[in-house]
Amino acid sequence: MRNPSKSKPEGRTKIMMFTSRITIFLIAAGFFGMASFVSAKEKAAGAVGTSEYAKGVQLFDSGQYEQAVTEFTKAILANDKQPAFHDSRGFAYFALERFQEAAADFSKAIELSPKDERAYIGRAQVALKQKDYQQALADTQKALEIKPDEVVAIKFRGYAEIGLSQWDKAVADFATVIQKQPDDLQNYDRRALAYRGLKNFDAAIADYTDILEKKPNDAETLTKRGYTYSLMGQYEKAIEDYQAELKLNPQDNDTFQRLQFAQGRLAAKNAPPPTATLTPTPEKPGLIAQINPLYIGIAIVGLIVIAVIVRLITRGKVESTSHRIR
């Protein structure tokens, strides 16, 4: 005989929900990235909807997001009070880039379970995709209040801080993430960007170099390090990185233009100073040459007028004679 104490109390029982790895496709801050976190074990409010939820998890993990949405929706219709059903469908919607629906599901999960850090993280990634960095920052902060060591929340907060140009905070967050995930090269890339924002170019170069030591043919990182060298005025090193990238991607017109710019700046930097040429001092004209011909003409006319006046005055006068005997 079954023990009544182990049957469903008042028609309900608490069972352990399925633990699944949620893959988050993040498109934010001008780059494509991928992050993941393992959902915590959830307790269902009841068994209703559990089988549909389990199918949805399997479909999600196999990349069949449309079908996963269908199964999660069935679970929600059977039991709309279970937050795990809503935030799981939210992640499926996000994978399908149906961001408004994803945000709505995450908000519903938060309403049902305000201590569900996964829902805050899910809503934060929607905000990042929509470049609503203040909302993303608020949601990641809330997630970290619930679970301070949640590395995905710290990472997403770093993305939000970069979007808000809070470079020093972003550097600190990605430094923490790197300690926890030293093999995730994307964290070095984002910290390098934050260092560039702080104009700490040497630190940015160090992070890009760490990436290239592990992935020598990472074309994107070669371009970024080359650009940073260019900002530092180290055009020789910039040219070297650009040329290495163009060997990998010969049709990359953007990097080709950056290469031309660096080459032009290097040529200008190394060009010899222009030779000074002496300009001969013009000779001063003589006194006669400085006299304006017009003035000469006026002077002649003046003299003529004076002569005529004098002649008119002296006409008809008797010249004086001497009465002395000689």
Count of other CB atoms within 10 angstroms of residue 321: 6
From first to last of the 326 residues of the chain, give the pLDDT tens digit.
333 333 333 333 332 333 233 333 343 332 223 233 324 334 444 558 899 999 999 999 999 999 999 999 999 999 999 999 999 999 999 999 999 999 999 999 999 999 989 999 999 999 999 999 999 999 999 999 999 999 999 999 999 999 999 999 999 999 999 999 999 999 999 999 999 999 999 999 999 999 999 999 999 999 999 999 999 999 999 999 999 999 999 999 999 999 999 999 999 988 887 776 666 666 666 555 556 666 677 767 777 777 667 666 665 554 444 443 33
Is the pTM above the cut of 0.85?
no
For 43, phi then psi, to 5°, come to: -105, 125
If phi over 0 gives left and psi between -120 and 50 gives alpha, with beta otherwise, what is residue 234? beta
DSSP summary character for residue 291: S
pLDDT of residue 291: 60
pLDDT of residue 273: 79
Helix (H, G, I), strand (E, B) or coil at 28: strand
Q: What is the dihedral of CA 178, 182, 184, 186, to 10 degrees?
A: 40
CATH 1.25.40.10 positions along the chain are: 13-164, 216-268
* Assigned fold of 216-268: 1.25.40
CATH match of 13-164 with 1.10.3720.10? no
Q: What is the 3-state secondary structure (H, E, C) of 186-204?
A: HHHHHHHHHHHHCCCHHHH
DSSP string, 144-163: HHH-TT-HHHHHHHHHHHHH
For 133, phi then psi, to 5°, come to: -70, -30
